[in-house]
Amino acid sequence: MTTVLTPAAPAPPSAPPGRIRRIGRRVASPWTYAALIAILAGSAFPVYWSFVVSSQTTEAVGSVPPVLVPGGHLFENIARVFDQTDFALALGNSLIVAGTITVSVVLFSTLAGFAFAKMRFRGRTALLLVVVATQAIPTELGVVPLYMMMADFGWAGELQAVIVPGLVTAFGVFFMRQYFERALPLELLEAGRMDGCGSLRLFWHVALPAARPAAAVLGLFTFMQAWNDFFWPLVVLVPENPTVQTALSTLASGYTTDYTLVLTAATIGTVPVLLVFLLFGRQIVGGIMQGALKG
């Protein structure tokens, strides 16, 4: 019996020291961190500068070199803001408007997005196209007829005139529809129907919990947009019933502008948005990251 010896396969070449490849993760370079720090500093500096100016006197605003350290006049300037204008009413009105619009947009957009994504009905595609096409219409184009409608309803000067036109948005419907299309499998809905769930129970017990991250993102964007809206409240509201943005315009109007007073009011008006982000930040960041991973 003859034994045939086969040559052993050559061993794979080993990687030279210092050139070990990392599998599945890339290490960011120091330039990446430097760029991120620069972007963060550039984004946070206007907020910090507003806080610095709001804690200084009026003379410190135009000083050279500029003052970069907070002073001790913050509470004095806050008291001046509430003395000069009814800023407490403006804060309350903005909270009512932004809160109501946010809850309504999230609820109706989630309902409509679920229907467009997972339900079959006649004219679904055409209706979705009409909803998306409304985003191409400039807002300013509908100001005059919208104001005439509010005047006919007797809402001119009232908060209803600001709230009702923003109760649902085309962007919110399209955003939630796209999320449901990817995040909610049909098998899960079929299992719910086999258990005897109707459409509303499926939405409440299956779709709504699955949409929580996207709803948090949409809620933050909607709250910020409603809180910062200036043009439409300026048109339809009266100075005696202001929101935060119209109150800021009142403080800035006049022969001379007290920038310390204006930036103090702007700093106060920024606090609710920061609180909303701190309260719902985990859901918001989770929704953005989940959408990025799915994309």
The pLDDT score that the predictor gives to residue 23 is 43
Cα of 173 vs its chain's centroid, Å = 15
The pLDDT score that the predictor gives to residue 285 is 65
- Domains of the chain, earliest start first: 30-72 (no CATH), 86-294 (1.10.3720.10)
Q: At what angle do helices 170-183 and 124-133 cross, to 10 degrees?
A: 130
Contact predicate 264/58, CB 8 Å: no
The pLDDT score that the predictor gives to residue 21 is 46
pLDDT tens track, the chain, 295 positions: 444 454 555 555 554 544 444 444 567 788 888 898 999 888 888 888 888 888 888 877 777 777 788 888 889 989 988 988 889 999 999 999 999 999 999 999 999 998 888 888 888 889 989 988 888 888 888 889 999 999 999 998 899 999 999 999 999 999 999 888 888 877 777 777 777 777 777 878 788 888 888 888 899 889 999 999 999 999 999 888 999 999 998 888 767 778 888 889 989 999 888 888 887 766 666 655 554 445 4
For residue 107, CA distances in Å to 5, 15, 173, 176, 226 come to 75, 56, 10, 10, 16
Write out 213-279 in H/E/C secondary structure: HHHHHHHHHHHHHHHHCCHHHHHHCCCCCCCHHHHHHHHHCCCCCCHHHHHHHHHHHHHHHHHHHHH
Angle (CA) 128 133 134, round 5°: 105
Whole-number Å distance between alpha carbons of 82 and 64: 29
Whole-number Å distance between alpha carbons of 168 and 101: 8
Q: Give the up-direction half-sphere exposure of residue 2: CA atoms within 13 A in the CB hemisphere.
A: 2
Whether cis (ω within 30° of 0) applies to the bond prior to 65 is: yes
The answer to whether the predicted template modeling score (pTM) of the entire model surpasses 0.85 is no
Whole-number Å distance between alpha carbons of 88 and 90: 5
Tokens of residue 275, six digits: 């609180």
